[in-house]
Amino acid sequence: MSGFQVLKPGALALLQDLGRRGYQHLGLTTGGALDERAARWANRLLDNDQNAALLEISLGRLELLAGLDTRVALAGADLGFEINGKPCQPWQSYSVRAGDHLRFGYARSGLRAYLAVAGGFTGRCRFGSRATVVREGMGRALAAGDRLECLPDQSPGALLRRVPPRYCTSGESGDALRVLRCYQYQEFGEAERRRFFDEGYRISSDSDRMGIRLAGPALGWSQGGILSQGIALGAVQVPPDGQPIVLLNDRQTIGGYPVLGTLLPLDLFRLAQMRPGTEVHFEAIDVEEASALMRTFYDFFG
């Protein structure tokens, strides 16, 4: 075996990269790692290409058997990762030998961890990406008995690394989530806009990779129907019940509900790690400030 065998698939483990770009006009959504920041760190620890395929492990309970000597790196949520029963912390890289048993327990903090392997996993590439989007038939969740292929480690003697502590956070809590005021923002009433930013919401358990549903003050919309429009990552959509939905990577490509704005991607990565029941608040951010923050992020990762 030239990779890893899946002994137990866990709650939800998916092969992901940074997403499928340039195909939304065909109805194909982007997919990709929900916490892009953690995914990039996992690949960076191994000097992988930033778009190298890796595993997104939600909630935990995944078990793998290594079939080769290599290095792995883990970033994101603390899922109680162990190698041969020895506890291993996230935000670090580790050496793995053929026959080693990799196990993830239940999530201790956050929701999703990202497991990278030296050189990346070599799953099937479709429309320029290895990202899994189950509802579109682009791959599927891991199942017991699956094999995850990867190339031999090209730098077997490379030093193991650790992410500096100031960057090691699963993003569960913190400051308000920042929203760019766009789409139909100006068409919402002043009272509705104020309610959204002044009052808190809780993350609903009825959330998935398509979107995070929020429970809280209902937002009214009195402008009637709108034409279907392209849906950006992080769009804050307001359906007829008035409960906002923050749309994620597996979102539909177009939609006919009004949109209050879009979440700053850096805060979207944080939101993807928050558990159901977590209270969240929102604040507005200007385009210039948002652009500067995202430019700094992408410059850092090259």
Residue 271 has pLDDT above 90, yes or no: yes
Containing H/E element for 290? helix 287-300
The torsion defined by the Cα of 195, 197, 200 and 205, in degrees rounded to 10, comes to 100
The tens digit of pLDDT for each residue in 96-130 reads 999 999 999 999 889 999 999 999 999 899 999 99
The tens digit of pLDDT for each residue in 61-94 reads 999 999 999 999 999 999 999 999 999 999 999 9
Distance CA 297, CA 240 (A): 36
Report percent pLDDT > 70 for the chain. 98
Three-class DSSP category at 143: coil
What's residue 118's pLDDT?
Answer: 97
What's residue 1's pLDDT?
Answer: 55
Residue 2 has pLDDT above 90, yes or no: no
Three-class DSSP category at 293: helix
The tens digit of pLDDT for each residue in 152-205 reads 999 988 999 999 998 987 665 668 999 999 999 999 999 999 999 999 999 999
What's residue 171's pLDDT?
Answer: 60
What's residue 179's pLDDT?
Answer: 98
pTM of the model: 0.96
Task: Please classify residue 236 by burial: count the beta carbons closer than 10 Å to its beta carbon, then call 0-12 exposed, 13-18 middle and 19+ buried.
Answer: buried
What's residue 172's pLDDT?
Answer: 59
Name 251's Cβ contacts closer than 8 Å, sequence gap at least 6: 29, 210, 211, 231, 233, 235
Domains and CATH numbers, the chain: 3-167 (no CATH), 177-300 (2.40.100.10)
The tens digit of pLDDT for each residue in 15-52 reads 999 999 999 999 999 999 999 999 999 999 999 999 99
Q: Give percent helix, percent strand, percent coil of the chain, each to the nearest 5.
A: 15, 30, 50
Pick the more confident residue, 284 or 171: 284
Task: Please classify residue 15 by burial: count the beta carbons closer than 10 Å to its beta carbon, then call 0-12 exposed, 13-18 middle and 19+ buried.
Answer: buried
